[in-house]
Structure formats: structure tokens, C-alpha cells
Structure 1
């Protein structure tokens, strides 16, 4: 049944949130160009007039999803900075936990992740901002004494972004591994390295 006028209170917010959720699913499954306003409102069981109460057009709802992804992923990245004076025994566990939280966000929001990382024309810009935030975190952590002074933080930030992006695509979104597993794998590689320490350094 079509609504008349702007829904009030919680119902209005719920309608808007539902439109965003269905729009994310449609864009993620069908791409931007094949997604239509009519398919979004059908999936949400709402009317087209209701859609236009909240969004000017298809582009507007897509841009809001892009913006939502950017805000949330940068917030998780910012919060992942290690705080000063951590016990040395806690550093590895804290890095793994922070990384797991970020990966869990990506895994729990697969449609938004596909839009933000892979479909959006602004994806490269968002990834560059993530890299910048990771580098800022690393610079702070180097000054706090957690990592060696000669660490190339730009290279590490770029590498970590590449690892996160690729493993999200091949392991998280297809649900091959849980966020905690992926986080631990990344930390094992970056912190423990690749050499077989049992045989000693060559």
C-alpha cells in the first residue's frame, strides 16, 4: 500500500534506512547502471513517492552509501591506533583485535563493502584516505616505540591496504574465513614474518 505524505517519527527513519539497505543490495548485486529506483522500492515494499521523499534520484542514494562507507571505514581505521604505554606482551593481541574489528565491519556489511571498495568511482580516493590514516597511526606508533625507527610507514600502509582489500574480496565476502582468522593471518605475516625461525637466521 502506498504511503501518503511523509512518514512521521520512527516509521520515517525506518523507511529511509530500509531504502538504503535495499539500495545497497541492488547496487552490489546488479551494479549502478542496471539498478533502478523501481527495483529498490519494490524490494523495500514502499512506493516511488516515498523514495523521492528521501532521495532526489538513484545517484543521490548511491552517493549516500559511498559516504556512509567512507565515514565508517575511516572511523574504524582511526580507532585502530595503538595507545601509548601498552605492555609489550599486549601489542600483538591489540593489533589483531583492532584489525579484526575493521574486518568484521566489512564482513557484516558485504553490500556496502562491495560498493565502497569495488563499485564506487571514489573507491581509489577512499583507499588513499585509509592509507593516509594507517600511515598516521604507524608514525605515531613508531614515535611511541612500538616499531623500529627506520620503518617505511608509507610502504607498510600501502601494503596493509592491499592485503585488506584482496583478502576481503577472496576470503571475507565469500565467507571462506572469519574476520578473526584473517586478522590473525595478517598479524602473523607482518609481525612474525616468513622465515622459519626453528632453523635460525640464514
Structure 2
């Protein structure tokens, strides 16, 4: 039976925060329940009031990341009727929001995007949702009709993944700066020469 009330909720929340940090720092297999409870200032029996196992707490953290990411992407599709001059700005807002989400809880991002067994599936789901959004936006006339939005979505997820690990989580770049570069690259390319 789990404790009820504010103290129980606080203890459970503290376990989740400490566990996320331990998993992100040490990986799943090296993380020990004894370390989690010690850092949380709780006892090992108290851990089992809230979670059945180390796998259960890890799974909950993974699902939290997955669910929040899914909600963010599902709500990011550009609505129809945007003036062409404002499309880049709207995309900048969407990507800034995504990088902000990935940077707000680095431990959870490490678990959900990089070290969890399901992280490959999470990124595949992310690419599929982005592809669906892009295809709708393509039909609305925002993007070239000949572009393969499956490839664009896969490239975008790869760019987001790499920039998150190498620039965002290391503190080298802000979400806004990364979003600006990605929008510029995908909307305008890097060439100064016109296409032939």
C-alpha cells in the first residue's frame, strides 16, 4: 500500500527526480536502488511503497518523456492559411519549443532520447509524427510538393538528436539559437549559389 497525502507525493516525486539523475549519469544497469533511496533521503522499503522495481521507475520516466514529446509534436502542426512570410517564424517557434522541452529536464531527455531501450522507438515515432505534420503542411502549400517528407522528417530527427546531445545538453547553445540554425538550414539551405 502506498502512502497517501503530501508527504507520500513528495517522497515519490523525490524518488523520480533522483532516479532520473542516477539513470542519466550512470545508465540503467549501473544504477542501484540503494543509491537512489540514499540520495533521496529515504529507506529502501519506502522505495517499494511507490515502485515495484528499478525497471518500474525507469519505465515510468521513459513513458513520461515519450508522452510529453508526443503531445508537443502533435500540437506543432502549422495551421492552414499562414501567410508565406510568416512560415519561417512559425517553424522557429515550433522548434524553439521542442529544443526548450528537450533542455528543460536533461536527465529525462537522456533517458527518453538516448539511453532507454525504447529510445530508438521514440525517435521513430517522432519521425513519423513529424512526417505526418510535414505532409499536411506540404498539402497546404508551405513546402515543395516534390520533397519526400519521409526523408525530411528523418533528417530533422537526426539533426535534433545530434544538436541536443552535442550543443543543447552541454550548454553550448540555447534552444532559440539551435532552432534558428535548423530553420535556416531546412528552409534556405547553405548554398549562396542559385539552383540550376
Please give the range of the TM-score, normalised by the shorter of the 2 chains: over 0.9
1:61 is matched with which residue: 42, 57, 61? Answer: 57
**What is the Cα deviation at residue 196 of structure 1?**
1.1
Instruction: Tell me if 1:110 matches 2:109.
Output: no
Instruction: Tell me if 1:119 matches 2:115.
Output: yes
- How many Å separate the matches in 1 of 2:76 and 2:105? 19
> Residue 128 of structure 2 corresponds to which residue in structure 1?
132
**Structure 2: runs of 5+ lacking an equivalent:** none
- How many Å separate the matches in 2 of 1:164 and 1:45? 36
- How many Å separate the matches in 2 of 1:90 and 1:49? 56
1:95 is matched with which residue: 91, 109, 118? Answer: 91
1:34 is matched with which residue: 30, 35, 38? Answer: 30
Structure 1 segments, 4+ long, off by >3 Å, are none
| 1:69-97 deviation per Cα after TM superposition (whole angstroms, max 9, x unaligned) | 11111111112110111122211111011
* Structure-1-length-normalised TM-score: 0.93
3-state SS in 2 of match to 1:94: helix
Tell me how many residue pairs correspond in the alignment: 196
- How many Å separate the matches in 2 of 1:7 and 1:25? 23
* Structure-2-length-normalised TM-score: 0.96
- How many Å separate the matches in 2 of 1:71 and 1:185? 27
> Residue 52 of structure 1 corresponds to which residue in structure 2?
48
- How many Å separate the matches in 2 of 1:188 and 1:10? 47
- How many Å separate the matches in 2 of 1:129 and 1:92? 24
**What is the Cα deviation at residue 6 of structure 1?**
4.2
**Structure 1: runs of 5+ lacking an equivalent:** none
Residues 3-18 of structure 1: matches in 2 within 5 Å? Answer: 6-18=2-14
Contact 2:24/2:107 (8 A) holds in 1: yes
How much is the aligned-residue C-alpha RMSD, in angstroms?
A: 1.3
